[in-house]
Amino acid sequence: MKKFISLSVTALMICTLAEAQPKKADTVVVELAKKSKMVLTIGDRADLPTLKTYDYAALFADIIRKLEAKDTTILPSQPNTIVTETEPEWPGYSNKEKDEDNDWSKENTKRKTKYYGKKTWQSFNIDFGTNNILENGSFPDDNNQLYAVRPWGSWYIGLNSTQRTRIAGKFFLEWGFGVSWYNFKFQNDGTVITKGNDNVAFGEIAADLSPVKSKLTVTYLNASLVPVIDFGSNRHKVRFWDSDEAFRIGVGPYVGYRIDSYAKNVYKENGDKERDRNRSNFYLNNLRYGARLQVGYRGTDLFFNYDFNELFADNRGPSLNAFSFGIIF
């Protein structure tokens, strides 16, 4: 390796010395090691621009290989050779579509190439925030309804496998699948939800019991498709520890399928804490669909989900639309 580096440096010195020689000088002798030397004869100084374009690293590598193999055949000339830095084509890579997120292209006499890398990146994301409901555009607690939801404690949790695909330039498509939980913690700790023959009813716990907590939990399997414009240089999902200062925003649809639901009441009876869990569909819609907004800056991303369809089936319960918002980890 030391010999190779020495030869490469020597080659660069040759070009410099050749230009500095008077017109009559057409031979440069370079002493190498103890008993080796290299003689460069220039028949025409008009060849100097061409000599500058040679890939001397490859040339000396060939020379060393021939010396080691005792091969004295003449190496072919390399006219119009230009040193380039071009990545090979690999599965998932596209040299043709590479753009400005190249981190290593250099401003020098070499031909510039740009490196984009693969087009799709996978990440595991966690949505954590709160959820609530609207009834005809208003919060139910405005009318003291038993199904009014308490924001603190009504946690929304989503676990998502997300793929980020570059479409063009700063335009990405984030798509994926996951599971999420609506936790509706009712304002009235004594709220009891019951499934009747035709609809769902909301009542209150027995008067002789001391209510502690009441909530409704619904679990969904989800799929989402969110186009994103990212003005930063990161191709993957930005994390909290990243320093990218650019802004990013996206909005797109999602759909979910209900896989579980239950109501839970916690109360005290004779000083002892009791828990009742009632697992039922409560006439909840099996499908949910809506729009998702994502906004990010630096290492922080926020989300907002709004369900276009109602939480309960038509004429089976109150006309409620669920929504959630929070932070993406």
Domains observed in the chain: 2-68 (no CATH), 120-328 (2.40.160)
pTM value is 0.63
Tokens of 288: 């949910």
Residues in the chain: 329
Answer yes or no: is pLDDT of 112 > 60. no
Q: pLDDT grade, residue 63 (50/70/90)?
A: confident
**206-246: pLDDT as tens digits:** 989 999 999 999 999 999 999 999 987 665 555 554 555 68
Q: Is 9 helix (H, G, I), strand (E, B) or coil?
A: helix
- Phi-psi domain of 210 (left: phi exceeds 0; alpha: psi -120 through 50; beta: other): beta
8-state DSSP, 115: -
Q: pLDDT grade, residue 4 (50/70/90)?
A: very low
Those residues with Cβ within 8 angstroms of residue 21's Cβ, 6 or more apart along the chain or in another chain: 28
Q: pLDDT grade, residue 51 (50/70/90)?
A: confident
Alpha helices in the chain (DSSP H): 2-20, 48-51, 56-68
Specify the pLDDT at position 78: 55
Question: Given the structure tokens 């020689």, which residue do they identify?
Answer: 21
Percent of the chain residues topping a pLDDT of 70: 73
CA distance 11 to 185: 76
